[in-house]
Amino acid sequence: MIVRLAIGSLFARLLTVSMTVLAIGLSVALFLGVEKVRTGAKASFADTISGTDLIVGARSGSVQLLLYSVFRIGNATNNVTWKSYQDIAARPDVEWIVPISLGDSHRQFRVMGTSTAFFEHYKYRQGRDLAVSDGAIMADLFDAVIGSDVAKALGYKVDDPIVVAHGLASFTEHKDQPFRVSGILEKTGTPVDRTVIVSMEAIEAVHVDWKNGAQRPGQATPVDAIRQMDLTPKAVTAALVGVKSPLKTFALQRAINEYSEEPLLAVLPGVALQELWAIVGVAEIALLGVSAMVVVTALIGMMATIFSSLNERRREMAIFRAMGARPTTIFGLLILEAVLTATIGALLGLCLLYLGLFIAQPLLDSAFGLWLPIDAPSLHELWVLCSVVAASAIVSLVPALRAYRLSLADGMMVRT
């Protein structure tokens, strides 16, 4: 009986109730959407590199090593000598190793020297391989493979020339040794999209006439002569390492960290990512706090709507009392109305969330590499919906108590 009364009352105030439902639905969709983006960003962040057991570089901090070797942010404190790199590669527990050389740039995009093994062993998003959308990987000394963002921003196509600049913010270019775009990678949503990839030998080739960070005056070695030189690297910035057995990862990490020839650091990518995420976690908490306040504001608005409708419904309540309804019935009626309103609003918010995900998923993936999976509501999301409904019952207690205390005579009184 009371349920029919509550539903009928809601339909009688359809416009006001609809606005309240919409406010709750939008706030719930915002809160759940922020949570989806937060977890999706965290997963995409962690999926920037997968399948790599260790990252090795000069001794610094684990987060710093991760930032410059994987995310191309910042610079290394020092390089790793080629001898040390070969010593690590020769260890029996190392299955594969990929060198990384950083330092140059091309029109604000980082240039990375590596070997063709990078395209074989670098994985992202839970084991996905790099793929070339056009052209092929490096085959010649002065071939370059560019990420999708580089190609899009600069309008490059296969066979276009590229001139690498010395350093990150330098106007000095290696004009005597131009590169050719040999391939363009598919979109990955990782820093690879914003990277120009060349061979380790190419990095040595463009610095043949350089010493101590400056070009030797009057020297310009012909390209044909450079091709005949021994271009074995003298140092690398970092290295990605795969271990034959996961059980040997910590032993190899300890051995590298205790390497006697030079100070080195080996970090587990997952651990370093957790440290990095902990640093930016403050913004994550703040964003969730703002979203929660939006939900609270919507619930307070619902309470204010119930309050404002009480004066209009005084005669309705008095009639219910005159027909034998107990004060507890009036009390329960208002709470049930609030719960039904919040339930419909929460379900609307869930529908809006999945509609938004359906529309935004391909756009976010192509633009930012942020993958938001469309799956069934998680236990956490269901708890959020239940919490919103429970909170609506709590905030409706105040107007319900006021209606409970209204006397029959007060309800029947005509006010002038």
Q: Which of 320-328's residues contact partners 24+ apart within 8 Å by CB, and which partners?
A: 321/408, 321/411, 322/408, 322/412, 327/404, 327/405, 328/404
pLDDT at 16: 80
**411 pLDDT exceeds 50?**
no
pLDDT at 368: 64
Q: Give CA–CA dist 6/364, Å, rounded.
A: 42
Kindly report, residue by residue over 306-325, the tens digit of the pLDDT.
Answer: 776 666 666 666 666 666 66
Mapping DSSP to helix (H, G, I), strand (E, B) and coil, where does residue 147 land?
A: coil
pLDDT tier, 214 (very low <50, low <70, confident <90, very high otherwise) = low
- Contact present, 21 and 349 (Cβ < 8 Å): no
Mean pLDDT of 212-227: 76
Q: What percent of the chain has pLDDT over 70?
A: 86
Within 323-378, residue ranges assigned H as helices are: 327-368
Q: Are strands 94-106 and 238-243 parallel, antiparallel or unpaired?
A: antiparallel
Kindly report, residue by residue over 320-335, the tens digit of the pLDDT.
Answer: 666 666 767 777 777 8
pLDDT tier, 226 (very low <50, low <70, confident <90, very high otherwise) = confident
Kindly report, residue by residue over 1-58, the tens digit of the pLDDT.
Answer: 567 767 777 777 778 888 888 988 888 888 888 888 877 777 777 778 888 999 999 9
Contacting residues for 163 by C-beta, under 8 A, at least 6 apart: 106, 173, 174, 175, 178, 179
Kindly report, residue by residue over 325-368, the tens digit of the pLDDT.
Answer: 676 777 777 788 888 888 998 999 999 999 998 888 887 776 66
**179 pLDDT exceeds 50?**
yes
The mean predicted confidence, pLDDT, of the chain is: 84
pLDDT at 114: 96
**393 pLDDT exceeds 90?**
no
Mean pLDDT of 84-109: 94
Query: C-alpha angle 297/327/13, rounded to 5°?
Result: 45
**160 pLDDT exceeds 90?**
yes
Q: How does DSSP assign 214-273, residue by residue?
A: EEPTT----HHHHHTS----SEESEEEEEES-GGGHHHHHHHHHT-SSS-EEEE-HHHHH
Q: Are strands 54-58 and 264-267 parallel, antiparallel or unpaired?
A: antiparallel
- b/e map of 74-108 (b: 16 or more CB within 10 Å)? bebeebbbeebbeebeeeeebebbbbbbbbbbbee
Beta-ladder partners of 196: 111, 146
This prediction's pTM: 0.72
Q: Give CA–CA dist 302/304, Å, rounded.
A: 5
Kindly report, residue by residue over 259-290, the tens digit of the pLDDT.
Answer: 999 999 999 998 888 888 777 767 777 777 88
